[in-house]
Amino acid sequence: MKVILNCAMSADGKIALPTRRQTRISNPEDLERVHRLRNGVDAILVGIGTILADDPKLTVSEKYISEPSHPLRIVLDSKGRTPPSAEVLKGDAKTLIVTAENCSKEFPGAKVVRLGEDRVDIHRLLDFLSSNGIKNLLVEGGGEVMWSFLNRGLADEISIFVGSMIIGGSDSPTLASGEGADSLDNIRRLALKDCERLGDGVLLRYEVLK
């Protein structure tokens, strides 16, 4: 399975405000690119932190694609904290909530799969998705989930839109958070594939080296 990470960050590497509230970093050109990217994958994945902070729909907008493909939406949510009113549980696209095995929660409008003892095991999740025909997975954040995929060597590509702004703040979430590299050997190396001006921002595309 091909795993693509995508995110928008400020010029100082932040992906949200210090309060963790979402702020519009993508410009119109990048938004169109993201919706086209979503339309071309089988599934879009985020962590529960992103659901609680941003309440995203994770759909393809008809503003950009006249007949959207409705990729599967996936939430990593070990303890089942997705609110029943969450946008990700509404709309035409199907939703998969992935919890740990010790969580018994169910969600209206979503399928649930339980993988991992206390926390979702993303290796097992990728095996599960592959065996269910998912060939292209788009991971859209947040920082903790991005680091999990990078740290485990499970990401193939990363696209980063750099918006022309500084957010600042030592508490502002960054592109890859979690525990971070604990030694020089654990730093994730990238190979720059492409660099393109997109309106008033820049799009960087990297291969993640294994």
Ligand X SMILES: NC(=O)c1ccc[n+]([C@@H]2O[C@H](COP(=O)([O-])OP(=O)(O)OC[C@H]3O[C@@H](n4cnc5c(N)ncnc54)[C@H](OP(=O)(O)O)[C@@H]3O)[C@@H](O)[C@H]2O)c1
> Which residues of the shown chain bind ligand X in the complex (CB under 6 A)?
7-8, 15-16, 20, 22, 25, 46-50, 53-54, 76-79, 81, 119-120, 122, 140-145, 148, 173, 177
* Smallest distance, ligand X to C-beta of residue 156, A: 17
Cβ-based nearer residue to ligand X, 21 or 66: 21
Cβ-based nearer residue to ligand X, 35 or 81: 81
Q: CB-side exposure of 157: number of CA atoms within 13 Å?
A: 14
* Smallest distance, ligand X to C-beta of residue 136, A: 18
Residue type, 24: R
Query: Helix-strand-coil percent breakdown of the chain, rounded to 5?
Result: 20, 30, 50
Cβ-based nearer residue to ligand X, 8 or 72: 8
* Smallest distance, ligand X to C-beta of residue 144, A: 3
CB neighbour list of residue 17: distance below 8 Å, 6 or more residues apart: 23, 167, 169, 172
Cβ-based nearer residue to ligand X, 67 or 165: 165
Cβ-based nearer residue to ligand X, 17 or 65: 17
| Residues 72 and 44: beta-carbon distance below 8 Å | yes
* Smallest distance, ligand X to C-beta of residue 171, A: 10
Q: Pairing between strand 201-208 and 190-198?
A: antiparallel
* Smallest distance, ligand X to C-beta of residue 178, A: 6
Helix (H, G, I), strand (E, B) or coil at 35: helix
Residue type, 54: D
